[in-house]
Amino acid sequence: MITVKEVEGIHKILIDSFDGTHGIRDLVALDSALARPYPTFDGVELLPDPVQKAAALIESILINHPFIDGNKRTGYVLMRLLLISYNLDISASQTEKYDFVISVASGKIIFENIVHWLNGHVTGIEV
User: What is the SS3 assignment for the chain?
Assistant: CCCHHHHHHHHHHHHHHHCCCCCECCHHHHHHHHHCCCCEECCEECCCCHHHHHHHHHHHHHHHCCECCCHHHHHHHHHHHHHHHCCEEECCCHHHHHHHHHHHHCCCCCHHHHHHHHHHHEEECCC
Q: The dihedral of CA 72, 65, 5, 23: what is its sign?
A: positive
- When pLDDT is cut at 50, 70 and 90, the band that residue 1 belongs to is confident
> What are the tens digits of pLDDT across the range 36-51?
999 999 999 999 999 9
Q: The dihedral of CA 17, 22, 28, 29: what is its sign?
A: negative
CATH of the domain at 90: 1.20.120.1870
pLDDT value of residue 125: 84
Q: The domain containing residue 58 runs over which residues?
A: 4-124
Q: What is the pTM of this model?
A: 0.95
pLDDT value of residue 71: 98
Distance (Å, whole) CA 100 – CA 32: 22
Please compute the mean of the pLDDT values over residues 44-64 and round it to a whole number: 97
- Cα-based angle 95, 96, 97 (whole degrees, multiple of 5): 90
- When pLDDT is cut at 50, 70 and 90, the band that residue 127 belongs to is low
- Rounded to the nearest 10 degrees, what angle do helices 50-64 and 111-121 cross at? 130
Please compute the mean of the pLDDT values over residues 15-44 and round it to a whole number: 96
> What are the tens digits of pLDDT across the range 67-118?
999 999 999 999 999 999 999 999 999 999 999 999 999 999 999 999 999 9
Number of domains in the chain: 1
